[in-house]
Amino acid sequence: MAQAKKVLYYKGLNGIRAIAALSVLLSHIITGANYIYPQLEIDELDIANYGVTMFFTLSGFLISSLLLMEQKKSGTIKLKDFYIRRILRIWPIYYLYIFISAACLYFFLDTSIIQVELLYYLTFFANVPFILGAGLMAISHLWSIGVEEQFYIFWPWLFKSTKKILTKLFVFVLAFYALKVFALVIFKYTDSDIFYTVLKVNRFDCMGIGGIGAVLYHQKSKMVEFLTSKAAQWIVLISLIVMLLEEFRFSMLIDHQLVALVTLSLILSNITLKKPLLNLENKFFNFIGKLSYGIYVYHKLIVLLLVPFIQILPVPNGLKLASLGILSLVLTVAISYLSYHYFEKRFLKLKSKYTTIKSTSEKELTVSSS
């Protein structure tokens, strides 16, 4: 009888997925609310952007953890299997949503516009329209999935040999960050922001920070104790609050890097401590976290379709806004639940055939980005 594969599970990580997914959903509900009742002028507070960075960091940590464990177990990385696993997890729901959205958009937009824009999304260059300030509204949030797919192309190659892996990852993150600083200088003196925008959108440094955290964790580094200390956890808690305050916006040079470090501290404290200050392991977060990819992918079309119907309801604006929030959440979660159990699981079963280290976390690994 074949020996069952050991299942890897990191407690608390579904909580990070849940927070990130709900922050993106809330941001787009706020956008819809401002459209229904423009006098509100509610600030989205960058919560969607920060939510995406949390997903990026978590993805970097989990992907790197699995690569490290595969390298340790088998002495190599099966790149073909790695890419097949990513395809089976990401592509089915991604393309299903694009086709559904394209069918809906067909009735509202010039078909020539749809055809041109769709080429970017169909080829996982969804970040290109986003960088250019364009993008079809119903699918524009898929830019982050394009970023992740591009990241996956080269990241596993760094783990083909784990010799000096920590040094390699530090060099990668610092080099990418240095490019971002250089791009910001160019922007300041030339008013050309395209280079900086490309690097800010493609947050490979944030995913790299997650990867560094994975190496530190698996190497049982003393740095993990520092990142999970009481002082560090309080800094994380305060930082999460500060991030929501308009008057304390961080510099463009460090905003997402700080979010990545905060996320990494949350990850490490939840998987290493029995009683972390912010314990994210609970039934609600586990439920939402498991559906986070579907929530991220499906939510925007749901909000967009609800807005015009709620807008014409003969009820007070307060009730309209409450209806938008409740219906968006309920419908998004319900559709994501059905999608996960009756569509995505078929592909997850296929994916297990190409898995060396089976992980309950890895099954819901991809971004729920904005």
Helix (H) or strand (E) holding 7, with range, is strand 7-8
- Chain-centroid distance of CA 64 in Å reads 15
Cβ neighbours for 259, distance < 8 A, ≥ 6 positions apart: 50, 53, 54, 57, 206, 243
C-alpha 214/C-alpha 217 separation (Å) is: 5
Helix (H) or strand (E) holding 359, with range, is strand 358-359
Question: Does residue 42 carry a pLDDT above 80?
Answer: no
**Which tokens sit at 162?**
């784990």
Residue 366: what pLDDT? 47
Question: pTM for the whole thing?
Answer: 0.91
Question: Across all residues in the chain, what is the average pLDDT?
Answer: 88
Over residues 192-202, mean pLDDT: 88
Please state, for a pLDDT cut of 90, what percent of the chain lies above it: 64
Is residue 291 a contact partner of residue 340, using CB atoms and an 8 Å limit? yes
More confident residue, 92 or 317: 92
Q: Which of 33-37, 70-74, 355-359 has the lowest mean pLDDT?
A: 355-359
Tell me the pLDDT band of 4, cut-offs 50, 70 and 90: very low
Strand partners, 7: 358
Residue 246: what pLDDT? 57
C-alpha 323/C-alpha 72 separation (Å) is: 51
pLDDT in tens, 89-145: 999 999 999 999 988 877 765 555 566 778 899 998 999 988 888 777 899 999 999
Over residues 22-29, mean pLDDT: 95
* In the chain, where the domains are located: 7-364
Residue 251: what pLDDT? 63
Question: Does residue 196 carry a pLDDT above 90?
Answer: no
C-alpha 313/C-alpha 341 separation (Å) is: 33
pLDDT in tens, 225-241: 999 999 998 988 888 77
- 10 Å Cβ neighbour count for 8? 15
Residue 361: what pLDDT? 45
Question: Does residue 363 carry a pLDDT above 60?
Answer: no
